[in-house]
């Protein structure tokens, strides 16, 4: 045999009979028998010439690959990922957790998963960031919760991204925060066209009410109208929102407020 030490195993004469009897220093798998010992048991029966080195190399590669996968038990929810993913940030808690010479003391459950007492809801965006480097948060998940997890795991770049997301959210006005200011203006019929053409600067036409004729010039009757206009303003209703603009003042000059 090349490249493999002889395991400390007790092998029966029959391959099928030896599986339950194997006691081996390589027995790291969850099955009853160690795969290393099984291979050596087969080699013992068929002879060294039939036990090819390439098969041993293939097994070693598969064994190394299986060690790349890591199972995490976060608040009772299991996550399966790789050491490469968890090692994205070398300053993070997760990087230190999966190192061979880790100085962290972490308990494992009966399945071998690392036990982490955190909320799994907020861990999902953290793990996905480590996988593809992008911050993706569902609408039903609060950014503040993700920020808490990013700070707990000490993932520097993720902390920065979540803080930026929170700042953008706070600067973005909510749809429900908008209020409207309404004005009712009274116009003569001949002033109506000019009033409508002047209306802009955020003011919108809402309703026009004919209130009939109240005066005559000779034989001509001049109808009067009430015009209802509105304008959207911020929830704070600060002085800039309620102070009439130049165009609003023109509207007021064209008609009389009621």
Q: Going residue by residue through the chain (258 aa), what tens digit of pLDDT does each one get?
A: 445 554 544 444 444 444 444 444 444 444 444 555 555 555 555 555 555 566 555 555 555 545 689 999 999 999 999 999 999 999 999 999 988 777 777 789 999 999 999 999 999 999 999 999 999 999 899 999 999 999 999 999 999 999 999 999 888 766 556 677 888 887 777 777 777 777 666 788 788 788 776 555 555 566 787 888 888 775 444 445 445 555 555 555 554 444
Length of the chain equals: 258
Tokens of 168: 């953008």
Domain of 250, CATH number, reads: 3.30.70.2000
Q: Domain total for the chain? A: 3
* Contact between 235 and 179 (Cβ < 8 Å): yes
Q: Give a yes or no: residue 229 inside a domain.
A: yes
Which of 89, 94, 160, 70 is CA-nearest to residue 146? 160
Tell which of 171, 191, 214 closes a domain.
171
pLDDT of residue 40: 58
- pTM beyond 0.85, yes or no: no
Whether residue 74 is found in the same domain as residue 158: yes
């Amino acid at each position: 045999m090349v490249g493999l030490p002889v395991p400390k195993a007790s092998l029966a004469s029959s391959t099928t009979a030896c599986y339950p009897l194997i006691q081996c220093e390589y027995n790291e798998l969850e099955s009853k028998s160690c795969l290393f010992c099984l291979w050596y048991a087969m080699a013992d029966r068929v002879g060294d010439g039939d036990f090819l080195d390439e098969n041993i190399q293939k097994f070693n590669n598969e064994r190394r690959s299986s060690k790349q996968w890591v199972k995490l038990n976060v608040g009772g929810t299991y996550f399966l990922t790789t050491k490469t993913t968890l090692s994205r940030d070398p300053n993070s808690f997760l990087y230190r957790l999966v190192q061979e010479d880790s100085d962290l003391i972490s308990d494992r459950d009966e399945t071998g998963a690392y036990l982490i007492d955190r909320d799994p809801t907020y861990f999902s965006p953290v793990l996905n960031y480590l996988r593809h480097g992008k911050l993706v948060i569902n609408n039903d998940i609060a950014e503040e919760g993700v920020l808490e997890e990013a700070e707990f795991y000490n993932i520097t770049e993720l902390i920065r991204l979540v803080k930026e997301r929170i700042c953008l959210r706070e600067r973005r006005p909510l749809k429900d925060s908008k209020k409207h200011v309404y004005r009712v203006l009274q116009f003569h019929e001949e002033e109506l066209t000019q009033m409508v053409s002047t209306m802009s600067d955020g003011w919108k036409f809402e309703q026009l009410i004919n209130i009939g004729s109240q005066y005559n010039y000779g034989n001509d009757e001049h109808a009067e109208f009430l015009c209802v206009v509105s304008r959207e303003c911020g929830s704070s209703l600060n002085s800039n929102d309620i102070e009439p603009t130049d165009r609003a003042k023109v509207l007021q000059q064209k008609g009389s407020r009621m």
